[in-house]
Structure 1
Amino acid sequence: MPLTPQAIETLKHVSTATITTVLLKKGLRNIWMRGTRPLRPGQERLVGPAFTLRFVPAREDLATPESWSKPISTRTAIEAMPAGCIAVVDAMGITDAGIFGDILCARMAKRGVVALVTDGVVRDVEGVLGTGLPVWCDGAAAPPSVAGLTFVNWGEPIGCGGVAVFPDDVVVVDQDGAVLIPQAFLDHVLAEGPEQEATEAWIVNEVINNGAELPGLYPMNAETKARYAASKGKK
């Protein structure tokens, strides 16, 4: 199922925290990618289908600067990225070799890639920030990818931050990191996410402006649910 512009707009108003709660109620506990933090504070919430890339541990005969010119390379993978995607990179949590630097990120931005997500790190941070490409990662390191990683493929299932990511799964990123919505659960999140946001906004208002106590409010008991329903009817 393609990710429609309407679906993207809806998800831009649903936090990653809310998504994890909505999917937890459906039995999905492992959708938050560990080690994915916004490289620049204040990056906006973004949504897109996953374009997957995979690294394995470095092997001396394969992880060389010459590998950057081979048909299977990060350079070729970037040229296959469609506009609107979020690049999700399995770097196995390696934090002492930067998977991409400013030049590759600049090309991704030029191609219309929405964001880069990885459980690894980037290099040339100042330059990467200058490209305008939003990045979620586990920090920065000066050495290039081949110092610790071998790039092997793109467009296949990967593991990123301990989460199984399949091509075209939906990725949402915000200040809490990156979460994954499996395609089969997209309609459920689109239906339940906005209502969960509205419910919690009402609860926050009750706490801040009305001094409400938490028992019976969060989670709601029957009386609180009735008051909430009544408040929606007044709008």
Structure 2
Amino acid sequence: MTNKDMFKVFQGLSTATITTVLLKKGLRNVWMRGPKALHDTEQRYVGRAFTLRFVPVREDLATPAAWASPRSTRAAIEDMPDGCIAVVDAMGVADCGIFGDILCARMAKRGVAALVTDGAVRDVAGVLDTGLPVFCQGVAAPPSVAGLTFVGWQEPIGCGGVAVFPDDLVVADRDGAVVVPQAFVEAVAQEGQEQEALEQWIMDQVAGGAALPGLYPPNAETKARYEASRAKAT
């Protein structure tokens, strides 16, 4: 399956479904705590993780002059490939904005699919105007150097208490953002589609007045009825 086809599959899988499938495989810590959609959206965003990392503020390093450094958020943005999701470890610090309208505008121009961070953004009106989908903990007026030091990109990070590696698959929707480790992508794609189909059938049963015991979760009889309905549909 090509990346394009894989992304299309995941655009049809809710983050709730993905977390359930991964839970069944023993992965409990995949939902990032903190990032929420900054904008009203019904869309789902899928992309490979492009990671960035901040550490606690070091006053000799975290200065406005650092913005022109070769190791800066500006330089990292110029490395972001089309279609990636920028995942930023801001250590949960929400009283300074890691990105503002200009940086978000550049990411949008480069084709970045979304920004996910456990920190905050600034210039919120301008950020919303860029059209870049943003999932963050909040908004704050002070710049990043008021509380954080940027140290690098494309290395393992922790965002919202979740380990994220470069090129992991990230999916974000109204329920937040989840990471799918590369080794689980194909299995989650297949099993996620099966779960979505089953749950839609269960929803139809509930709408018809069916009681939940034996239906959700489905017992053997319910599974047999579901399989029969699938066979009839095909």
User: TM-score range, shorter-chain basis?
Assistant: over 0.9
Cα RMSD between the aligned structures? 0.9
Secondary structure class of the residue paired with 1:234: helix
Q: Any conservation in 2 of the 1:3–1:48 contact (CA below 8 Å)? A: no
Give, in whole Å, the separation in 2 of the partners of 1:12 and 1:42.
14
* Alignment equivalent of 1:217, drawn from 215, 222, 231: 215
Corresponding residue of 1:38? 37
Give, in whole Å, the separation in 1 of the partners of 2:54 and 2:142.
15
Corresponding residue of 1:181? 180
Secondary structure class of the residue paired with 1:48: strand
Secondary structure class of the residue paired with 1:29: coil
Q: Any conservation in 2 of the 1:43–1:134 contact (CA below 8 Å)? A: no
Q: Which residues in structure 2 correspond to 1:95-114 (within 5 Å)?
A: 95-114=94-113
Corresponding residue of 1:133? 132
Shift of 1:3: 6.5
Q: Which residues in structure 2 correspond to 1:58-77 (within 5 Å)?
A: 58-77=57-76
Give, in whole Å, the separation in 2 of the partners of 1:233 and 1:36.
41
Question: Percent identity of the aligned residues?
Answer: 70
Give, in whole Å, the separation in 2 of the partners of 1:154 and 1:192.
32
Count of aligned pairs between the two proteins: 233
Instruction: Label 1:136 to 1:3 Cα distance change in 2 as closer, same or farther (>3 A).
Output: farther
Q: Which residues in structure 2 correspond to 1:1-235 (within 5 Å)?
A: 4-208=3-207, 210-235=208-233
Q: Any conservation in 2 of the 1:85–1:114 contact (CA below 8 Å)? A: yes
Instruction: Label 1:10 to 1:124 Cα distance change in 2 as closer, same or farther (>3 A).
Output: same
Give, in whole Å, the separation in 2 of the partners of 1:162 and 1:145.
20
Instruction: Label 1:157 to 1:41 Cα distance change in 2 as closer, same or farther (>3 A).
Output: same
Kindly provide the amino acid, as one letter, of the partner of residue 185 in structure 1. Answer: F
Shift of 1:73: 0.2
Give, in whole Å, the separation in 2 of the partners of 1:58 and 1:3.
41
Kindly provide the amino acid, as one letter, of the partner of residue 18 in structure 1. Answer: T
Secondary structure class of the residue paired with 2:99: coil
Unpaired segments of 5 or more residues in structure 2?
none
Give, in whole Å, the separation in 1 of the partners of 2:119 and 2:2.
26
Shift of 1:42: 1.6
Deviations 1:204-225 (A, max 9, x none): 11111x2111110011011100
Unpaired segments of 5 or more residues in structure 1?
none
Give, in whole Å, the separation in 2 of the partners of 1:58 and 1:76.
19
Kindly provide the amino acid, as one letter, of the partner of residue 220 in structure 2. Answer: A
Kindly provide the amino acid, as one letter, of the partner of residue 171 in structure 1. Answer: V
Give, in whole Å, the separation in 2 of the partners of 1:17 and 1:135.
19
Give, in whole Å, the separation in 2 of the partners of 1:78 and 1:26.
34
Give, in whole Å, the separation in 1 of the partners of 2:194 and 2:105.
37
Shift of 1:6: 0.1
Secondary structure class of the residue paired with 1:32: coil
Kindly provide the amino acid, as one letter, of the partner of residue 146 in structure 2. Answer: A
Kindly provide the amino acid, as one letter, of the partner of residue 94 in structure 1. Answer: V
Q: What TM-score results when the alignment is normalised by the length of structure 2? A: 0.98
